[in-house]
Amino acid sequence: MATFKIILIVMSAIVWISWFTVDLYKIKKQQSKNILEDVKPDLKEFLRQNKWAILLSLLKRAIFTAIIAGSIYAIVYFSIQSVLFRTITLIVTFVALWVFMFIIDLYKMNKELHENVFENIQPDSKEFMHRYKWAVLLSLIKRAILAAIIVGASYAVIYFSIKSLLFRAIAIIFVIVVLWLTHSGITGEIFEKKGYKKITGNLMGFIPIYGLIYAIKLRPHKQILPGAFKTIIGFKEIMMKMMTFGMLTAALGIVAFPIVYLIGSSFTDTSDLPTLLWPTSDLFTWQNYVSLFEDTKFFVWYKNTFIIALLSMLLGVIFVTGAGYVFARFKFKGKKAGLMAILVLQVFPSFMGLIAMFTLFQVFGLLGKPTWLTVLYVGGSVPGNIWLIKGYLSQIPKDLDESAMLDGANKFQIFFKIIMPLSVPILSFVAVGLFMAPWMDYMLPKYLLDVQLAGSTDPDSVQKQWTIAVGLFSMIQNPQSSSYTMFASGALIVAVPITILYMIFQRYLIEGIAAGATKG
């Protein structure tokens, strides 16, 4: 309750002052109408002339604010005390809101009706109902739902704020952030209207209150029409702004939550599931990273995965480049069939080959040897990558080839000296794809690299075969023997480089995939 009282008092003060300022402004405007344009009114003169009006305004607004604040407080107070009161308040608010919005809709519909009909025909209510009855019904329902949502949400927010400290804290932070962003947005738009750069305005707007005042006082660069600012500070506009920023802030929070949790739990010192978003100072530790390398085979897994990735990248590029070039450039017998075949092969789920690969590896005794997984990754990627390279290379104009041939180069020379350098972008895309694949693959390594090697005396021989994906999952899979904090630290070590890479190349990667799909 105490917090609520404080908030209520602060809000009332703000409302009072702003209301009062609006009044002042109105007075000033009225004043300026009565005075000639070239005489500058000064503050002292202004106060002296209008002191009664100002005092009256101060008092009036204080009383209004007090009444409003008082009623709010009373409602809250009695709602807490009595369920009946709470219920009645909720119902009354709901109905009031509903009727209010419904009437606005009716009004709009009426206006529309008037605009569409010739001026001299007087539409009456029967006509109105006849035309708009479905719209009326729809509006009734829509507004009911909307009112219910608004009332319900506000009730929930108030209820939880009272019950839980955490909720209150989060709600307050959320509201402050949204207000702050709205403030910045308004300031930016004011700057824009006055002919300055919007960005500067937004930045200025980060300074609370002063930024706004600065923007208002700013000398406009261009002519401003009287109604210009209405679009910025209209009620609806501010509501929309707050909603937009509210959604964005919420999205930000949702996006950040798991990531912050992951980072936080990697620093948490607990042998169980970490339940705090970020460890308190007494639970903060670097130990998890140390134990990761000492107690688990993390380093071995990392090494395994790295070797597989590197090898498949090198071998894959070698195998695929030539074939892709041939498909792009030449017409030869069986090309169409070959393309169809590649297309068909690409859509087979990689799963189908899993059992065969297991048996094959078993026959040749390759189970449990991580490096041989390279063969699978390279093989599996051949169809798709041929397609990509072909698509890219078909965009390189054939004239290059022809002019080179005129100069007497044979096909090998053309390939190595001209085409290869030009295809570096797509080759690096393919190479990156090949490199990334083994890190994120779980199905294959779990099946093929999880075997008891006959004749092995090392008790950890099974674990030493794993790749990162299998190893990390093993840390959280078994509820009895899990170590969640070590998992977090391992996950971070793997994820951070990849995330940074993706963030840097995001534009290229996203549009690359899109382009690959549409343009081939």
Partner 1 sequence: MKRNGKHIFKGIASAIIPGLGQVFNKQFLKAAIFFVIFSIFLGVELATSHYFVTVDPYDKLTEETGELFTDVFSENFYKYYAYQKAADEVDFPDFEAYYATANADDVFSMRELLEYIGEEIVGASTPRYFVLSTDLVATDEGMGTSNTGEILDTDLIIGTDDDAIGAMNFTHVKIGITIYMSNDVEYYRVITGSDETRQVFYVNVNDSTDVIYDVTGFTEYKRTDSLYYDSSLHIVYIKSTISDSVLGSSDYRYTNVQDSSDFYDAKDSANFDYFNSLEKLEIKGDLVFSGSGDLYVRYIPELSYDMVHGYNGTAFTDYFRNYVTMRYNANTSFDSGNYNRMLIEVYFSIHPELRTAFETQYYNFFYDKAGAFTKGIWSLITLGTTEKVVYNYKSLHDPLKSVAFTESGITYAAVSGILDETPLIGHVSSYLLIQGLIYTLLLAYFILIYIWGIIDAYKTSKRYDETKKFVKDVEWLRNIFTHGFEYFMMLPALFVITFITVMPILFGFLIAFTSYSGFDSDSGLFTWVGFSNFTRIFSFGEGIPFAETFWSVLSWTVIWAICSTATVFFGGMFLAVVINSERVPFKKFWRTFLILPWAVPALISQMAFSVIFSDRGVINAILDKLGFYDVFQNWGILGVAYNADTMTAFQKLFYLGYNNIQWFSNANNIWFVRIALIVINIWLGAPYFMALMTSIMTSIDRTLYEAADIDGATKNQKFKFITFPLVMYSTAPILVMTFSGNFNNFGVIYFITQGGTGAGDIDTAFAGSTDILISWMYTLTVSKKVYNMASVFSILIFLLVGSIAAWNFSQTRAFKED
Tell me which residues in 441-460 interact with partner 1 (CB under 8 A): 442-443, 446-447
Contact between residue 117 and residue 123 where contact means Cβ atoms under 8 Å apart: yes
Applying CB under 8 A, among 239, 240, 420, 424 the residue interacting with partner 1 is: 240
Q: Which residues of 301-328 are buried (b: 16+ CB within 10 A; e: fewer)?
A: bbebbebbbebbbebbbebbbebbbbbb
Hey, what are 41's tokens? Answer: 């009114």
DSSP 334-363: THHHHHHHHHHHHHS-GGGGHHHHHHHHHH
Applying CB under 8 A, among 6, 10, 104, 318 the residue interacting with partner 1 is: 318
Applying CB under 8 A, among 172, 416, 440, 456 the residue interacting with partner 1 is: 440
| Region from 50-58, 130-138, 452-460, 465-473 binding partner 1, contact rule CB under 8 A | 465-473
180 binds partner 1, rule: CB under 8 A = no
CB 47, min distance to partner 1, A: 38
Inter-residue long-range contacts of 490-495, CB under 8 Å, 24+ positions, other chains counted: 490/292, 490/296, 490/298, 491/262, 491/266, 492/262, 492/263, 492/266, 493/289, 493/292, 493/298, 493/302, 494/302, 494/439, 494/468, 495/262
Which residues inside 112-131 make contact with partner 1, applying CB under 8 A?
none
* DSSP-derived 3-state class of residue 268: strand
Contact between residue 162 and residue 5 where contact means Cβ atoms under 8 Å apart: no
CB 323, min distance to partner 1, A: 4
Q: How far apart are CA 103 and CA 38, in angstroms?
A: 47
357 binds partner 1, rule: CB under 8 A = yes
Applying CB under 8 A, among 325, 372, 429, 435 the residue interacting with partner 1 is: 325
320 binds partner 1, rule: CB under 8 A = yes
Cβ distance to partner 1 smaller for residue 57 or 438: 438
Which residues inside 488-517 make contact with partner 1, applying CB under 8 A?
488, 491, 494-495, 498-499, 502-503, 506-507, 510-511, 513-514, 517
194 binds partner 1, rule: CB under 8 A = no
The DSSP element (H or E) to which 56 belongs, if any, is helix 43-81
Which residues inside 62-91 make contact with partner 1, applying CB under 8 A?
none
Cβ distance to partner 1 smaller for residue 98 or 367: 367
Cβ distance to partner 1 smaller for residue 54 or 382: 382
| Among 301, 303, 313, 311, residue whose Cα is nearest residue 435 | 313
Contact between residue 382 and residue 430 where contact means Cβ atoms under 8 Å apart: no
179 binds partner 1, rule: CB under 8 A = no
The contact pattern for partner 1, residues 127-166, with x = CB under 8 A and - = no contact, is ---------------------------------x--xxxx
Cβ distance to partner 1 smaller for residue 128 or 319: 319
CB 198, min distance to partner 1, A: 7
Cβ distance to partner 1 smaller for residue 16 or 181: 181
Which residues inside 24-43 make contact with partner 1, applying CB under 8 A?
none
Hey, what are 260's tokens? Answer: 């912050």
Please, where are the H alpha helices in 194-334? 198-204, 210-217, 230-233, 235-266, 287-295, 298-329
Which residues inside 389-428 make contact with partner 1, applying CB under 8 A?
390-391, 394, 410-412, 415
Q: How far apart are CA 333 and CA 86, in angstroms?
A: 82
Angle (CA) 158 161 165, round 5°: 175
259 binds partner 1, rule: CB under 8 A = yes
Applying CB under 8 A, among 151, 386, 426, 486 the residue interacting with partner 1 is: 386
Applying CB under 8 A, among 330, 365, 416, 420 the residue interacting with partner 1 is: 330
Contacts with partner 1: how many residues (CB under 8 A)?
A: 112
Dihedral, 418, 419, 423, 424 alpha carbons, nearest 10 = -40
Hey, what are 328's tokens? Answer: 């792009």
